[in-house]
Amino acid sequence: MGGAMHGYIVDKIFPYQWSGVYFNPKGIRTPDKKYLNRLLKSPHAVLMSRRLASVATLDENSMKGLMKALKKQVIHFPDITDEAEVNLELPLVRNVLEKAKKRKIIALLGNLSLRKGASLFMQAAKKLKGESFFFLMAGELGDIPSSHIQELDGLENTFIHCERLQDGVEFNSLMKICDIIHAAYINFPFSSNTLTKAALLHKPVIVSSGGLMEERILKFKTGTVIRENNEDDYLNALRAPFLKDANYEAYFADHSIRRAEEVIGMLIRC
């Protein structure tokens, strides 16, 4: 009754046909009674509105489960990113290249947090001293202890920039000069637009197993999958050559701003 009641309330307050975006529908890829019971509970109960015409979701592999539970049209919504042009003359970019000295650049960009697999990234930087790798951390500092940052910043094979990146141009420009993008997140089964940005710039990505990112990497061959927080897997992935038949163009086509505009149009017309 809970879901039906919530849907009824939505219909009373908002008596119009509507469509919505369900960004991260965790745990609903296999439609079953347990999922349906979860769906009936807040905050998902709004989807039981009789006036709901269609739903878009970032998780394309949850679509069948949603359609079976809701009996509504479900559309895949792209995980878009800023598509700004790169500028390799930016001071931060030039500073990184100068220190990297033509070594292979491994990058953790954006929010710098433990959930992003920062511990694994930092441990690899220490282990690979003396090898032809260079580790770049750039973005707003989250829950990483400052002592760990200071220790890493003292290494010759690292560049640490714990400040929010100015805009999409700076972010994209840093990623453009990198060779491998770190996205080996912890307990993260969801979508991430890091994959979109990497596809835009044709950069291979390392991701953790057990989620949507793994499924996309395996489908489009745009990177490598490792066991979550496994140091041996991570080091092997850094040293191994990446697949040459990566389908960056197809991945980006599915997650571009242009595709988002098309999907929004579909939602409006439902």
| 205 contacts 198 by C-beta, under 8 angstroms | yes
Q: What angle do CA 197, 199, 203 make, to 5 degrees?
A: 95
pLDDT tens readout for residues 125-140: 999 999 999 999 999 9
| 251 contacts 216 by C-beta, under 8 angstroms | yes
- CA dist., res. 225 & res. 184, Å (int): 8
Q: What H or E segment, with its residue span, contains residue 267?
A: helix 257-269
- Count CB neighbours of 131 within 10 A: 13
pLDDT at 43: 53
The pTM of this model reads: 0.90
- CA dist., res. 263 & res. 61, Å (int): 17
HEC secondary structure over 139-204: CCECCCCHHHHHHHHCCCCEEEECCCCCCHHHHHHHHHCCCEEEECCCCCCCCCHHHHHHHHCCCC
In percent, the amount of the chain with pLDDT more than 70 equals: 90
The distance from CA 170 to its chain's CA centroid, rounded to whole angstroms, is: 18
Half-sphere exposure (Cβ direction) of 92: Cα atoms closer than 13 Å: 23
Where do we find the tokens 């489908």? 219
pLDDT at 2: 41
- Count CB neighbours of 124 within 10 A: 20
pLDDT at 29: 53
Q: Which of 6-10, 75-79, 157-161 shows the lowest mean pLDDT across its residues?
A: 6-10
Which residues of the chain does CATH 3.40.50.2000 include?
91-254
Please give the backbone phi and psi of residue 106, each rounded to the nearest 5 degrees, phi first: -105, 130
> Is residue 72 pLDDT above 50, yes or no?
yes
Q: Which CATH number fits domain 91-254: 3.50.50.60, 3.40.50.2000, 3.40.50.720, 3.40.50.300?
A: 3.40.50.2000
Nearest to 157 by CA among 180, 188, 136: 136
pLDDT at 7: 74
pLDDT tens readout for residues 2-60: 445 467 788 888 899 999 888 877 656 544 555 555 555 545 678 888 999 999 999 99
What is the mean pLDDT of the segment spanning 176-194?
Answer: 97
What is the mean pLDDT of the segment spanning 193-212?
Answer: 97
Gyration radius of the chain's alpha carbons = 21
What tokens does 53 get?
Answer: 């015409």
- The pLDDT-based confidence of 65 (bands split at 50, 70, 90) is confident
- Count CB neighbours of 123 within 10 A: 15
Average pLDDT of the chain? 91
Which residues lie across from 73 on neighbouring strands?
54
- Count CB neighbours of 206 within 10 A: 23
